[in-house]
A and B are shown apart, each in its own frame.
Chain A
Amino acid sequence: MRRREAARTPRALLACGLLACGLTAAPEAAGEPAGRTLVVSARGPHRTLEDALAAARDGDTVVVEGGAHGPVTVSRRVALEGRGWPVLDGGGRGTVVKLTAAGASLRGFVVRGSGASLDDENAGITVAAPDVRVEGNRLEETLFGISLAHARGAVVAGNVIASKDLDVPRRGDAIRVWYSDDVRIVGNRVTRGRDVVLWYSQNLAVLDNEVTDGRYGLHFMYTDDADIEGNRLVGNSVGVYLMYSRRLRMRRNVVTGNRGPSGFGLGLKDMDECDVTDNVFADNRVGVYVDNSPREAQSHVDFVRNLFAGNDTGVALLPSVRRNTYTDNAFVDNGEHVGILGGGTLGENAWARGGRGNFWSDYAGYDRDGDGVGDVPYRAERLFEHLTQRNPALKLFTYAPAAQALELAARAVPLVRPQPKLEDPAPLVAPHVPAGLPRGAAVAGAPLVASSFGLVALAVGLLAVPGALLRGRARGPVEARPPGGTARAQLEAGAAPVLSFEGVTRRFGATLALDGLTLAVPPGQALAFWGANGAGKTTALRCLLGVIPFEGRVTLRGHDVRRDGKAARRQVGFVPQELAFHDDLTLRETLAFYGRLKGLGGAAAEAEALLGRLGLAEHAHKTVRALSGGLKQRLAVALALLGDPPLLVLDEPTANLDAPARAGLVALLAGLKAAGKTLVFTSHRLEEVLALADRVVLLEGGRLAADVPPRDLGERLQAHATLHLLLPPAAVERALAVLTDAGYAPARTGAGLSVDVDPTEKGRPIALLVGAGVPLADFEVARTGSAERRAGPASGPGRA
């Protein structure tokens, strides 16, 4: 690089010499005044830029009216002016424009298509002479943008530079200033470059530029006496890096969103006499990073009236940093306002001057005298930060609620408060807003607006749609129904069973709820399970439905309920004992929902027919919650009939109904039976069993105790009676002995004894006790079937 510069230096000197000669010699030689205007256009007089440049003399102006031109070298003190954006195109090779004459200028051109060689530093524009002006040009698709070397007094202003769209390591610098003092870089807009580099140059002014999406927004090295003012450095890897320089004044810059690997808004390394004033450092990884600045004992680095907002770390200092002064700055909502890299404590830095400190957004003090300065010092003493200094690995928990919980704990319990990292003796109670900043950037990101609207629409859509879906408007096809109408004939012909239990066993822990139940139900038959509570009736039904695990096998029309549960359950309509529907659905919605579960696709026509058939049509719009017990039961039957399954399973269907509702339901079920449905139900009511069942299965302790016609059940129920004897506690033992001696098997109850008796001799135990002088307070007689003897009375107690 240096060799190249060295090679260029003589050329620049030569150009200066030529310029000097030209200024004096050319007019005399031509005998014409300097300052002609040569026009390049399709109409002439000059048709090509090369012609015009060849004809031009120092001091001339070459006006180029539009058109496309190749690369040019300007070696005379000529002002090149573009009108209508003429294009200078390098065709993807080399450098496009070389300005090698002192005092030359280039204005109003589109400069595009440099080569892509980093080694040759292919650029849009190179300047290698003093006092050159490059103004108001547009640079597109260039590797390096504007490159100045040994170009004292140059002005680079109002250019728009958009470099080639390459990965950062393959890009060139958008603006480069080397060995060029007194240069002004003003009002340029730079994007997608590598760096804006200003090295080995003195007395620079970098004003009102905008640099975005680059690596180093501004990079200063060995560059003393510079003003950096009014620039916007947004979204670069690093905003501004100032190194090995002195007397740099940085004012009114906006440095935001610089979040590259180091992500400094401003980095200071070995800087002296540096004033950083009225800048905004926001949303950077680190707002300002300070390393060994100032380096000299009598030097200073002052930060005044800056805003540090929303950075991960507002100001990060190396522990060795001394003699920094921070006053009137505002530290607002930084993840960490001040960080000490590598831990330790800060020393000899001033956080206030002249009785004014800084604004800290987490300051919890007060200002009683209203002078704008808090009455208690601000101490940076966050517990989580302190812990991360002791063990940096804990930074992994940054942003975690646990870390915030620690902070809360530290505030509540002073005992666990850490040593403060810094103390601001005069914290300000209101933030200073740097002057000249736009208030409320109303830059609406159109894609974000669109996306956000999209999200809200998605939410509304998601929450609005299901209501419509559930109303079941869809008229889906009704699945082919299994034959049911000929069931009576099948029953008579000994057809294959609709339902069969084969050795079905269900355990609840050590208890056998169902013990090897085996039975088959042919089509059209009505089977009642009878037994005491806990005998296994409900368990049998649940096994039948396949909703609980069991051993053995249950098939429904040949479908194994465990292996092929869906097909099996399609053969069944179930009416549970406890009617548990979704209370907030209407009847119509309920039918639509269960219709969909049965694969009926909403089947509105069938649902309406069922509502009518069961006398529910007028209630169809009501919610389930609003229905009476009887109507709910009818709804349950309607749901069971949905899809016209051949088998109806009902668990205590009349248990919760009053007498008229009960009679209505029994009549309904009788009608269904007559229409050929197979019924399997449990009941505690003899009259229902007698009215509906073709067959009664008595369960006792989970075992099949008997499988009989209904009329036999009535006889069995008369076969035994239980006598409940209410005795004073003192008389129980005696009564026990008397009855045992007489051949009975009495059992203790809470109030006395119970004893099974022959229904024809119910009075005998009473007579025995009375004869033996046992005081009997009262007695009750209960009739039980054999299945119910252990479970106690099934019908109401009666006095003998």
Chain B
Amino acid sequence: MDARTVLAFATKELRDARRNRWFLLHTGALAALSLGISALAVSSQGAFGLAGFGRTTASLVNLVMLVVPLMGLTLGALSLAQERERGTLLYVLAQPVTPSEVFLGKYLGLALALLASLALGFGASGLLIAWRVSGAQVQGYLGLAGLSFGLALASLGLGLVISAVARRASTAVGLAIFAWLALVLLGDLGLMGTAMVLRIDVGALFGLTLLNPLQVFKISAIAGSQGTLEVLGPAGVFAFRTFGAGLLPLLLAVLLAWVVAPLAAGLGLFRWRGAL
């Protein structure tokens, strides 16, 4: 593995991202929506001279859960599949590079592109919040940005898993959007329904939600910014009581697993599937 080769792919990918309509659309949407949310927080509460930072955080958590996975999944899904469809992947793999270098280079480049996108969104709305809202906590805000990046990496990994096997870009995007829908809505709704019908105990319910990286992100964000999970009801209290100070490290470890596992799976699949 040659770091220079990985870096070459990463810079190429980062450059491509700037011209990728999906990326631009998502970055614009994220920046506009986070600014909008912050502006709303400012106008509805800041106008009264209030902090309201916690509520702003909650809204941002919500926004990140919707937009960031979509960004990661579609960017990741397009990445290899598009090049495979165009034939450039075959040509690139015919160069003195390894499939791992191609994969990791693309991952790194896209990760940096996502980082840029998130930094722009969080930076812009952070300025707005700092300007108008008192009591905003910089650590909490940066923590949320960091967790969002973690979620972006997890989604990117899942997108690349799709991309590693999809032959066509359109198939890959279709699968990515389905995966997004499953993560955002279907999984949670299914779990809520199951919990209602089967009366799953809180421990099991908490465990099952950790199967969804979006929930891991959300719970980490709440645990990180509020110190407890009381707002999440009995299951949250259970988790807090059970794991105590170890809860946040545990959640971060699960999020890390959500970053690493798709990355490893995607890499394995790509090496198996190759350029064709």
Contact B274 A547 (CB under 8 A): yes
Contact A448 B12 (CB under 8 A): no
**Min CB–CB distance B132 → chain A (angstroms):** 6
A572 CA to B94 CA, complexed, in Å: 9
A542 CA to B185 CA, complexed, in Å: 43
Contact A405 B189 (CB under 8 A): yes
**Can you give 18 contacting A-B residue pairs, CB < 8 Å?**
A282-B52, A283-B51, A309-B45, A309-B52, A310-B52, A310-B54, A334-B55, A393-B205, A395-B231, A395-B234, A396-B215, A397-B192, A445-B137, A453-B123, A458-B123, A566-B2, A576-B87, A582-B12
Which candidate, B14-22, B160-168, B246-254, B262-270, is the interface stretch facing chain A?
Answer: B14-22
Contact B51 A470 (CB under 8 A): no
Query: Chain A contacts of B8 at CB under 8 A?
Result: 593, 596-597
Residue A443 at the chain B interface, CB threshold 8 Å: yes
Residue A451 at the chain B interface, CB threshold 8 Å: yes
B residues lining the A interface (CB < 8 Å): 2, 4-5, 8, 11-12, 14-19, 41, 44-56, 58, 61-62, 65-66, 86-88, 90-98, 109, 112-113, 115-117, 119-120, 122-127, 129-138, 141-142, 145, 184-185, 187-189, 191-192, 195-196, 199-202, 205-206, 209, 214-215, 218-219, 222, 226-228, 230-236, 274-276
Q: Do A392 and B233 form a contact, CB below 8 Å, given A387-B196, A455-B120, A598-B96?
A: yes
**Min CB–CB distance A80 → chain B (angstroms):** 37
A255 CA to B231 CA, complexed, in Å: 19
A397 CA to B134 CA, complexed, in Å: 29
Residue A335 at the chain B interface, CB threshold 8 Å: yes
Residue A388 at the chain B interface, CB threshold 8 Å: yes
Query: Chain B contacts of A576 at CB under 8 A?
Result: 87, 90-91, 94
Q: Do A548 and B275 form a contact, CB below 8 Å, given A393-B195, A402-B188?
A: yes
Query: Chain B contacts of A448 at CB under 8 A?
Result: 126, 129-130, 136-138, 141
Query: Chain A contacts of B17 at CB under 8 A?
Result: 463
Contact A437 B49 (CB under 8 A): yes
Residue A354 at the chain B interface, CB threshold 8 Å: no
CB within 8 Å of B: which of A75-126?
none
Q: Do A396 and B91 form a contact, CB below 8 Å, given A405-B185, A451-B141?
A: no
Q: Do A581 and B88 form a contact, CB below 8 Å, given A257-B53, A400-B188, A569-B95?
A: yes
Contact A400 B53 (CB under 8 A): no
Contact A309 B127 (CB under 8 A): no
Query: Chain A contacts of B199 at CB under 8 A?
Result: 391
Contact A401 B65 (CB under 8 A): yes
Task: Identify the closest chain A residue to B272 (Cβ).
Answer: A549
A439, A448, A547, A601: residue with the most chain B Cβ atoms closer than 10 Å: A448
**Min CB–CB distance A420 → chain B (angstroms):** 21
A594 CA to B5 CA, complexed, in Å: 10
Contact A282 B87 (CB under 8 A): no
Contact B138 A447 (CB under 8 A): yes
Q: Which of B5, B119, B129, B184 contacts A402 (CB 8 A)?
A: B184
Query: Chain A contacts of B230 at CB under 8 A?
Result: 261-263, 285
Residue A599 at the chain B interface, CB threshold 8 Å: yes
Contact B115 A441 (CB under 8 A): no
Query: Chain B contacts of A307 at CB under 8 A?
Result: 48, 50
A169 CA to B12 CA, complexed, in Å: 55
A383 CA to B5 CA, complexed, in Å: 53
A445 CA to B142 CA, complexed, in Å: 13
Query: Chain A contacts of B235 at CB under 8 A?
Result: 393, 395-396
**Min CB–CB distance A406 → chain B (angstroms):** 8
A402 CA to B132 CA, complexed, in Å: 31
Contact B55 A333 (CB under 8 A): yes
**Min CB–CB distance A636 → chain B (angstroms):** 9
Contact A401 B66 (CB under 8 A): yes
Contact A402 B19 (CB under 8 A): no
